[in-house]
Amino acid sequence: FSGSPLSLLPSPPFKFQVGRKISPDGWVLVDGQCLILKVLSEWNFEVLGRTLTRANVEALDEYMRRCKLGPWRAAPAIQAFVLASRGDVAALVEWEQRKGSAAEKLSKLQEIQRVRQGKRRGGKAAAPPETSEASFQLHRLLQQQQQQKQQQQQQ
């Protein structure tokens, strides 16, 4: 989902049940945080050719809670959407905020992963020209942290 190697994830991968048609053992390891952010921001519950089930949603929400990867959960967003579809204006605002928050976090996560992948290739990860100022500052912060680590290792 993220295009980033699982070894670069800050948390264990999510074990996503896909069925034996896709994988011999019925499971695929994925970036769970990226998965939930994509689902929420795009509001698309089709994942790897199948629709997320209630069990998938519960497992993903539990994974996010257990790994402390932020407040993004599918079940509350689905509930807000259902209430909004019945005319609840407050629920509509909540659903839109959840969706927007997920999209913003997904964008930041993708930028961090681009930087990490660039460093893994051995080069300095330059920020893409279309990167926003906030993303560029994040990129600089990551570079500074890497330099500090290198200096500490040299001492």
pLDDT at 18: 78
pLDDT surpasses 90 at 74? yes
pLDDT surpasses 80 at 123? no
Length of the chain (residues)? 155
Q: What's the whole-number average pLDDT of the chain?
A: 81
pLDDT at 125: 47
CB-based contact 55:26 (threshold 8 Å): no
pLDDT level of residue 73 (50, 70, 90 thresholds): very high
76-114 pLDDT per residue, tens: 999 999 998 899 899 999 999 999 999 999 999 888 878
pLDDT level of residue 127 (50, 70, 90 thresholds): very low
User: Whole-model pTM?
Assistant: 0.69
pLDDT at 114: 81
Where is average pLDDT lowest: 34-38, 50-54, 124-128?
124-128
Burial status of residue 63 (CB atoms within 10 A of its CB: 0-12, 13-18, 19 or more): buried
pLDDT level of residue 128 (50, 70, 90 thresholds): very low
What does each C-alpha distance from 91 to 35, 73, 75, 85 come to in angstroms? 23, 15, 13, 9
Separation CA 90–CA 128 (nearest Å) = 38
